[in-house]
Amino acid sequence: MTTASAPLPTQRADLLARLAQPHHYDLAVIGGGATGLGVALDAAARGFSVVLVDSHDFAKGTSSRATKLVHGGVRYLAQGNIALVREALHERTTLLHNAPHLAQPLPFVMPSYRFWETPFYGVGLMMYDALAGKAGLGATQFLGRESTLRCLPTARTEGLKGGVKYWDGQFDDARLALALARTAASLGALVVNYCPAKSLVHEAGKVVGFVCEDADSGQQFTVRARSVVNATGVWVDTLRQMDGEAIGRPVKPMVAPSQGVHIVVDREFLPSDHALMVPKTADGRVLFAVPWLGKLILGTTDSPRQDVVREPEPFREEVRFILEESARYLTRAPKAEDIRSIWVGLRPLVKPQDDDGDNTKKISREHTVLASRSGLITVTGGKWTTYRAMAEDVLQKCFATGLLPAKPAGVTNQLPLVGTPQAPVQHRISDAQGLHSYGSEAADVQAIPGAQTVLGGGLTEAMVRFAARHEYACTVEDVLARRSRLLFLDARQAIQLAPAVAGILREELGSDPQLEAFQALAQQYLHVPL
C-alpha cells in the first residue's frame, strides 16, 4: 500500500465544512498526539471511516517534546521488562523503515570510568541486540579509551577506561506526528486541529459521539460514531470522568503525570554524530546527550507532577541536575548562558489503582487500553516508539467489545508515510533542518513562491506557505515549533523570525497568526530557573 504522492490541501474552511456534514463515522478519535494519530491512520488504512479532532495543534502536548529517541528502552531492560523492550525494538525498525526521512538509526556510546562498567553494560546491551534479533540496527561493540574518544571527542578524559557502542534510533517527533496525520488524511480520514471536544454524546447509556468546537469561531459540531476513542494522553482522565458522570459511574484517575526536561545547546559541546548515554547518574537516572537537527539535546529528567498544564515549566532542581551531570562527562560543561532552548514534556504514566503515583520510576511504561461501561475506549501510557502497536491494540479492543466489525491487523506494518522518498536518504537527523526534512515532497516545497527567500534556521518563505497550504498550520507557533523545530532548537532565533512568519501566514490564511502569543511562549523556552 502506498500513500498519495501529491500533497493534499488543508484549507481550514474545507475541513470544517466536512466536519459539519451529517455523517455516522465508524471511528472518532479525540486527541491528535502520536497515539490518536496512529489509531486514525490504522483505522483508515483498514477501510473504516475516521474523524479525529484535537483541542490544539497536532503533537502540541507530549508528542512534540520527546527525547527524540526511537528506542527499545535500555533502562526498561534493566528493570526486567522484557516484553516491553522486545515490542519496542520491533516497532523501532518498522518506524525507521516507514519514514526514513524522519527517523533513522543513531549510534550511542556509554563511556566507562570504572573498570567494571564496560563488561557489565556491554553484556546487557548484547542482550538488547539478542532481543532485537533480525530487527537489530548494528552490533554492540566494546571500545577502548581511544576509540571512545574518537566517538565522543569532548568526553571527560580523566579516568576514562573505554566504552560500549550500541545502536538505537532518533527522529523528528512533531514532523512524524504530522506525517501520520497527513497519511491518514490521504486514506480518507478527516483530521482537524484546534477543535476541542466539549462534551460526549450518550444514548441509552452508550457513548455515540461528541460535540466539538472550532477554537477560532466557536462554531460547534456534533460528531457521531460507532466507536469513540479517548487518546488525549495525560488528559485522558478528564474525558473518563465526563463519561463516568454521564452514566453514573465515577472513575478513579489512571494517569500519574511525569515530566521530562530537555536542554538544548550548540553542537560544539559534543561535536559528533554519536550520542552519549549515561545509564546511571548520581541519583540513578539516565542522562542523554543527543545530536539533533544541528544542536545537542541534554536530558532527560523524570519528576512526578500533579498538574497537567499545556506548557509545563522546568523545576530548578531538574535544570541543575542536567547541567551538573553533563559537567561530569564533558570536558567543557554547558552553563545556563549556553542554553538555546529549554522545554518540558509530560508523560502519561499509568499507575496501579492502589498507587499514589509519587515514584514515577516504578510506574509501568506500558500502555493501557480500557473500555468503559458506555463503550468509551481509552488508551494511554506507552511511548512514541510503540504508537503503531498501541493503535492495533485499540482497534482490537473495538472489535472485542463489538463496536466495530473485525478486520485484519498489520496494514500499517509496511505503510510508507507521506514524504517517504524512493531513493536512500542521504542526510542524518542530526544534521541541521532544511529542505531534506521534507523527503519526497521537497520538490513540492520548491515549487511554491519564496523557495529562494531564506528566513533563517533552515526555514524559507516557501516552507511557511507549504505549512499553511498542506500541513494544517494556523499560527506562528505551529510553524516555528512543529513544522520547523526552531523554537525547540534556538528560541531566541525563533523570536527573531516570528514577525516574518506571521506576515506570510496572514497572506496565506487571512486570519490572526497569534504573533504576540508566540513571542511570550518563546520567552518561556529561554527562561532558565536557576
Largest CA distance in the chain: 70
pLDDT tens figures, 289-318? 999 999 999 998 888 888 888 899 999 999
**Cell 511562549 belongs to residue:** 521
pLDDT tens figures, 241-280? 999 999 998 899 999 888 999 999 999 999 999 999 998 8
Bridge partner list, 346 = 259
Q: Which helix (H) or strand (E) holds 89?
A: helix 82-98
CB burial readout 459-498, b (16+ within 10 A) else e: bbbbbbbbbbbbbbbbbbbbbbbbbbbbbbbbbebbbebb
**Residue segments in the chain with a per-residue pLDDT below the cut of 50:** 1-4, 354-364
Q: Which three cell numbers stand for residue 333?
A: 560543561
Q: Could you tell me the sign of the dihedral formed by the alpha carbons of 378, 344, 384, 256, in that order? A: negative
Q: Residues 6 or more apart from 46 whose CB is under 8 A from it?
A: 395, 407, 408, 411
DSSP 159-192: T--EEEEEEEEEE-HHHHHHHHHHHHHHTT-EEE
Alpha-helical segments (H) within 432-473: 442-446, 461-470
pLDDT in the model for residue 72? 83
Give the separation between CA 245 and CA 264, rounded to whole angstroms: 43
Q: Chain-centre distance of CA 247, in angstroms? A: 33
Q: Which three cell numbers stand for residue 13?
A: 474552511
pLDDT in the model for residue 1? 42
pLDDT in the model for residue 308? 86
CA distances from 237 to 62, 364, 370, 378 (A): 16, 17, 12, 9
pLDDT in the model for residue 264? 98
pTM over 0.85: yes
Task: Decide the pairing of beta strands 220-230 and 206-213.
Answer: antiparallel
Give the separation between CA 82 and CA 84, rounded to whole angstroms: 6
Q: Where are the beta strands (DSSP E) in 99-146?
A: 103-112, 141-143
Contact 266, 335 (CB under 8 A): no
Give the separation between CA 125 and CA 140, rounded to whole angstroms: 7
pLDDT in the model for residue 353? 54
Amino acid at site 271: P
DSSP state, 267? G
Q: Residues 6 or more apart from 109 whose CB is under 8 A from it?
A: 143, 148, 151, 152, 163, 164, 165, 274, 275, 276, 277
Of 22, 76, 70, nearest to 222 by C-alpha is 22
Of 342, 420, 507, 519, nearest to 104 by C-alpha is 420
